[in-house]
Amino acid sequence: MIERTTRTLDERSHTAPFGFKALRYIFPDHWSFLLGEIALYCFIVLVATGTYLALFFDPSTAQTVYHGSYAPLNGAHMTEAYRSTVRLSLDVKAGLLIRQTHHWAADVFVAAIALHLMRIVFTGAFRKPRELTYYIGLTILGLALLEGYLGYSLVDDLLSGMGLAIGYGVALSIPLVGANLAALVWGGPFPGDPAFWSRMYIAHVFLLPILIATLIALHLFLVSSLHHTQFRGGRKTEKRLVGVPSFPGQAPRSLGLMFAVFAALFLLGGLVQINPIWIWGPYHVADSTNGAQPDWYLGWLIGALRLMPSFDVVIAGRTLVPNPFWGGALLPTAVFGGLFVWPALERRFTRDRHPHNLLDRPRDAPRRTAFATAVLTFLFIVFVAGSADRAYVLMGWSYATQIDVYRVGVFVVPVVSYWLAHRICVELLRNERVEASRHAAELEAEQAAGGG
């Protein structure tokens, strides 16, 4: 059947050489190569569910009074954006299932990208000739964070409004250009011009998804044109790739994973509540709720805002750098900047400019592994600090003490984890060398005994 299909296609498009090449494409056998695919399938779910939501969502800040099926909101003043989201959640058929699946898919999408990125960093997969693939992947991650933030903000519920207020504060804090930038994006002082909603909407449902989809296509094109990397061992060399072909090897594997992702996301969407906006209520500028939090993937920014000691850069009585800049703008710039220059830095440090198709195991590059572990623990502590208020309310741990502990830990723990990771890598390598020499000696002894 496949043969017939390809022949039919080839007679009309002359694409058979591509088709055969694609079917013969070799995938390495290792689970960690599938993490990026989880993200890909989440993206498909996001586009599909998002399209359904867009059929009912009205991105308007026009004021309205609620008279709908949810009695506690009756008579409440709200925007059309919020009203239509409540309606699509509670009155539209399958609306809540699709909305919750969309939100879960976003949470898992970024988690899968993060895991995929860790695999890339810890195995040195970003090295020549794959830097471009890596930069594109990082850009997708950055856009995904922004896309998620816009989705969270568009609804105009209580959490949306508080999130936007924080975003506005961070935008204002950018030195020199902040005030103009915020005015440009918001179209005026917070909460901004109604056109701000149109801007968020077109970005969320059109510009960013198209951009992400294009970058995913480029990413996959580069992956396949350069071929996959693979771990050392067996017959694998820098030149020879060992694995399974797309068909019949990889296709069922990948399809199975796709259905597993769909199943997991829709099960969560149907069984576990996420962002019950009808309970949060609509946002008005003076309103707030204690314990408002961003979705997990922006938790590190909230954590950084909390951990940063209170100080501004004031020159001659004028505040040049207000406090939110450090945690809200400088940290993400530094983290993404660091990730972008990492391949170049590593080339310079190791003086290794050769192309690499074979991956390192984490232990093979102890310093890289140790440094990545340190960065990861740093970000993890900043991230955990973001939920210190909830830990205080639920566990009774003093908030001030928690922040003090995190302020110290955020410097100490990465240093310790650097040392520990480095040590483990070195010991594992040493152990391997000992095992290898013992093995060689045993062989030698065997041969000597056999020969004598």
Q: In sequence order, what are the beta bridge partners of 96?
A: none
Residue pair 261/41 in contact by the 8 Å Cβ criterion: yes
Nearer to another protein, 127 or 306 (CB): 306
Distances (CA, A) of 320 to 165, 168, 186, 249, 278: 21, 17, 22, 59, 41
Restricting to residues 327-386, which ones interact with another protein according to CB under 8 A?
A: none
Task: Please choose, out of 165-173, 178-186, 268-276, 320-328, the segment that lies near another protein by the rule CB under 8 A.
Answer: 268-276
Restricting to residues 87-146, which ones interact with another protein according to CB under 8 A?
A: 89-90, 96-97, 100, 103-104, 107-108, 111-112, 115
- Nearest approach, Cβ of residue 30 and another protein (Å): 6
If binding is defined by CB under 8 A, does position 29 make contact with another protein? yes
Handedness of CA 295, 296, 301, 306 (dihedral sign): positive
Three-state secondary-structure class, residue 324:
helix
Task: Give the one residue of 3, 11, 12, 71 binding another protein; rule: CB under 8 A.
Answer: 71
Helix (H) or strand (E) holding 9: helix 2-13
- Nearest approach, Cβ of residue 86 and another protein (Å): 11
Task: Give the one residue of 6, 32, 64, 246 binding another protein; rule: CB under 8 A.
Answer: 32
Instruction: Count the residues of the shown chain that bind another protein, applying the rule CB under 8 A.
Output: 71
Nearer to another protein, 265 or 305 (CB): 265
> b/e for 232-266, b at 16 or more Cβ within 10 A?
eeeebeeeebebeebeeebeebbeeebeebbebbb
Nearer to another protein, 300 or 325 (CB): 300
If binding is defined by CB under 8 A, does position 392 make contact with another protein? yes
- Nearest approach, Cβ of residue 77 and another protein (Å): 9
The CA-based angle 338-344-349, given to 5 degrees, is: 100
Task: Please choose, out of 72-80, 216-224, 364-372, 426-434, the segment that lies near another protein by the rule CB under 8 A.
Answer: 72-80
How far the first Cα of the chain sits from its last, in Å, is 63
Minimal CA–CA distance to 363: which of 231, 243, 246? Answer: 231
Task: Give the one residue of 293, 367, 407, 413 binding another protein; rule: CB under 8 A.
Answer: 293
CA pair distance 229, 128, nearest whole angstrom: 11
CB atoms < 10 A from the CB of 317, how many?
5
Restricting to residues 148-177, which ones interact with another protein according to CB under 8 A?
A: 158-159
- Nearest approach, Cβ of residue 268 and another protein (Å): 6
